[in-house]
Amino acid sequence: MNKITVIDPNQFVALTTQKNDPAPKTNLLGMSKTKLMEFFKNLDEKPFRATQVMKWIYQFGVTDFFEMTNLSKKLQEKLTNIACVIPPAVKYKEFSEDGTRKWVFEVAGGSLVETVLIPADDNKQFGRKTLCISSQVGCALDCSFCSTGKQGFERNLTESEIIGQLFVANQSYMEGVPAVKRENRVTNVVMMGMGEPLLNYEPVVASMSLMLDDFGFGLSKRRVTLSTSGVVPKMYDLAKDIDVALAISLHAPNDKLRNELVPINKKYPLAELIKAAKAYVYDENPRHKKHVTIEYVMLKDVNDSDEHAHQLAVLLQDLPSKINLIPFNPFAHAPYERSSNNRIHAFSGILNNAGFVCTIRQTRGDDIDAACGQLVGQVADKTRRAKNWQQKIAQNDRLKQS
Ligand code: SAH
Ligand code: SF4
């Protein structure tokens, strides 16, 4: 497949400038509406400036205050001196002809995180585009089939690093378009990249609020999905704090097996997890959550027998849920294999017969699709990919120096 690869060093310049600046500027990207109002109040400006600036940033992808034409010249100058709008630096990006786009961001401290955009199969200009966002660098939970888990936990991402992934993805469609004619193209967000979103709770919820906000990205609440491996207490908080779609990474129908695959199960076993999921669906506030999505990775001869499917049907019988079977994506030294297609279909058949809506996630074979660590299924050999990126990045650095 042909790929267009662009390495964009411009944002590093912005970051470097900021680093050397004697009075560091406030990054407005990712700041909540309330905090932004406070920010303008402190400048003796009217609070509505906050929503004006939010629209420029999130709906038109504008980072230069002088392009925000409904602000006075004086305010534009003031903001330029004290504030900035800076997403995380794009270290590497890859746009494929089938519409899939992938970014590797270098976040403060030098760690790399990845974000992948996957269009609907028809790849129409204004069709569905799902962005898979990371919430942490690495992950502490160490699920046995997940390569992010194998990296260990490095740190939480900040609001601007989380929302910045969506900002950059939308901006990538705006090049050359005059500011007021720009439109966001990402229609769906899944918090299914690196990390466990509920273990970075406040920044993740604040970022999702900006995704839903009419002055932010204005996404529909059904099109923003948080995926969790089952951090039970935080699921109750989530139900109170924000209305988004919930996906649960279940992967096993009994505690014995789940303890092995998803170790956080030892802390929050299945009975507690299912109870929290029910509470999320039947929230006291009638917020019309209709179901949760159950994710179930298909591991050959581990969790894919008829017996497992029957157990799963019993476990989920009172929980309004849709089941999504994810063919396992192997990575270097992974101790598992992917279940055969026949096995996956037989498994899904049992669940369909038991009355469940059960889908099988498509995995497309090429590199870039594989790139969304978790959305398209975990990546084929993340270790190898990381090495490949490092080589490409080093090559680019050499080119810049010569
Ligand atoms: N930490 C969160 C969100 C990120 S993982 C969670 O676990 O839900 C996103 C999804 O990808 C999860 O369902 C996860 O179990 C799945 N996943 C991880 N590794 C995988 C692999 N090797 N193959 C297929 N799916 C995988
Ligand atoms: Fe973390 Fe999710 Fe991977 Fe488990 S599956 S290690 S929770 S990112």
Asked if 213 and 307 sit in the same domain, the reply is yes
Per-residue confidence (pLDDT) for residue 149, from 0 to 100: 87
Distance CA 298, CA 339 (A): 6
Position 388 in a domain: no
Per-residue confidence (pLDDT) for residue 272, from 0 to 100: 98
Retrieve residue 265's tokens. 């199960």
Active site residues: 114, 372
- Tell me if 250 CB under 6 Å of ligand 2: no
Query: Whole-prediction pTM value?
Result: 0.88
Asked if 146 and 46 sit in the same domain, the reply is no
Among the bound ligands, name the one nearest to the CA of residue 134. 1
Mutate to test the pocket of ligand 2, among 141, 225, 294, 297 (most ligand atoms within 8 A of CB): 141
Asked if 99 and 245 sit in the same domain, the reply is yes
Asked if 111 and 205 sit in the same domain, the reply is yes
- Tell me if 199 CB under 6 Å of ligand 2: no
Position 206 in a domain: yes
Position 13 in a domain: no
Position 383 in a domain: no
**For the ranges 88-97, 231-240, 255-264, which has the lowest average pLDDT?**
88-97
Asked if 203 and 242 sit in the same domain, the reply is yes
Range of the domain at 56: 26-84
Asked if 271 and 146 sit in the same domain, the reply is yes
Q: Whose CA is nearest to atom 15 of ligand 1?
A: 249
Q: Whose CA is nearest to atom 13 of ligand 1?
A: 249
Per-residue confidence (pLDDT) for residue 402, from 0 to 100: 52
Q: Is 96 annotated as a binding residue?
A: no
- Tell me if 229 CB under 6 Å of ligand 2: yes
Q: Which residue has the higher pLDDT, 147 or 358?
A: 358
Q: Is 250 annotated as a binding residue?
A: yes
Per-residue confidence (pLDDT) for residue 303, from 0 to 100: 98
Q: What is the pLDDT of residues 355-389, one digit of tens each?
A: 999 999 876 434 444 434 443 233 323 333 444 44
Q: Whose CA is nearest to atom 21 of ligand 1?
A: 378
Asked if 62 and 103 sit in the same domain, the reply is no
- Whether the pLDDT of residue 3 is over 80: the answer is no
Per-residue confidence (pLDDT) for residue 230, from 0 to 100: 98
Q: What is the pLDDT of residues 218-247, one digit of tens each?
A: 999 999 999 999 999 999 999 999 999 999
Asked if 32 and 155 sit in the same domain, the reply is no
Asked if 154 and 97 sit in the same domain, the reply is yes
Asked if 206 and 98 sit in the same domain, the reply is yes
CATH of the domain at 311: 3.20.20.70
User: Counting atoms of ligand 1 from 1, which one is nearest the CA of 193?
Assistant: 4
Q: Specify the number of domains making up the chain.
A: 2
User: Counting atoms of ligand 2 from 1, which one is nearest the CA of 146?
Assistant: 3
Percentage, residues of the chain above pLDDT 90:
73
CATH of the domain at 37: 1.10.150.530
Mutate to test the pocket of ligand 1, among 374, 375, 385 (most ligand atoms within 8 A of CB): 374
Q: Is 308 annotated as a binding residue?
A: no
How far apart, in Å, are the Cα atoms of 23 and each of 3, 7, 382?
A: 41, 29, 39
Q: What is the pLDDT of residues 177-217, one digit of tens each?
A: 998 899 999 999 999 999 999 999 999 999 999 999 999 99
Asked if 77 and 96 sit in the same domain, the reply is no
How far apart, in Å, are the Cα atoms of 398 and each of 92, 386, 401?
A: 14, 18, 5
Q: Is 195 annotated as a binding residue?
A: yes
Q: Whose CA is nearest to atom 18 of ligand 1?
A: 146
Of 147, 151, 149, 152, the C-alpha closest to 333 is 147
Q: How far is CA 128 from the centre of its chain?
A: 16
Position 255 in a domain: yes
Contact 211, 191 (CB under 8 A): no
Position 306 in a domain: yes
Position 6 in a domain: no
